[in-house]
Amino acid sequence: MITKRIIPCLDVKNGRVVKGVNFEGLSDVSSPVELAKYYSDNGADELVFYDITASAEGRALFTDILCQVASTIFIPLTVGGGINTVDDFERVLNCGADKVSVNSGAIRNPKLVEEAARKYGDQCVVLSADIKRVDGEFKVFAKGGRENTGMEAISWIKRCVDMGAGEIVVNSIDTDGVKKGFDLEMLEAVCNAVNVPVIASGGAGCKEDFVTLFNTLDKVDAGLAASIFHFGEVEISDLKQTLAQNGIVTRLI
């Protein structure tokens, strides 16, 4: 049977891995290549790289680092951040990325999802959605969670899946950085609406949060986190043992 995936996420700015708490207050953590190798050796099933650089120089540096990572480790790589055109897909795919994650770029131009899916296949297009509750409704936020688009999140996700998004990263702004567990209510709403893999993001604080995630929501395929892995609070190999003890099947190495 297919195993549940554990995915560390690396936010990269100017060639270094950083992680914000609630998207603000970045702190330098480590080298992307070293961290990627460490995670790959210790059981990560996939890696996500978000390029949070704003400048052209930073983007070029990111692309260069991605090539280094992709020639060092041999597990699936997803790249996001600054993906606005099909050319941006091409740029990161040529550096060894397997999937490309779109967020603000898709909000600005939803056709991007359709065009990229047609050119590279649905499996290549990941929709990343930053979602926050506003007056009791799930709303899609853009620009790293700073701007409310006014769009209702579930219908936005369904629309993107219809256009060819092959996987959804659900990032709850409400639980991100709080470390009190994943946003089960939000994730359940997404899982019930689509039939493509759903990756939970935002809120993991300890191993038990992953156990609760997979035991509560069987339809969630993967759990994604950053700081708890980067700061060594949770070791992936250790997390997978705990999941196994709770009857959750993962890839053990």
- 203 phi/psi in degrees, rounded to 5: 120, -10
Could you say whether residue 87 binds another protein (CB under 8 A)?
A: no
Place of tokens 């959804």: 168
- 62 phi/psi in degrees, rounded to 5: -60, -45
Task: Identify the three-state secondary structure at position 214.
Answer: helix
Contact letters for another protein, residues 5-24 (x by CB under 8 A): x-------------------
Could you say whether residue 115 binds another protein (CB under 8 A)?
A: no
Stretch that binds another protein, among 11-19, 120-128, 173-181, 238-246 (CB under 8 A): 120-128
Residue 184 or 198: which CB sits closer to another protein?
Answer: 198
Sign of the four-CA dihedral 202, 232, 41, 207: negative
- Candidates 130, 183, 209, 221; catalytic one: 130
Token pair listed for 39: 């995670």
Rule CB under 8 A: choose which of 167, 176, 183, 209 binds another protein: 167
Query: Which residues, 6+ apart, have CB-to-CB distance to 30 below 8 Å?
Result: 16, 17, 230
Catalytic-residue membership of 162: no
Known catalytic residues are 11, 130
- Which residues would be at the binding site for another protein (CB under 8 A)? 1-3, 5, 40, 45, 70-71, 73-76, 93-96, 98, 121-123, 166-167, 195-197, 221-222, 251-253
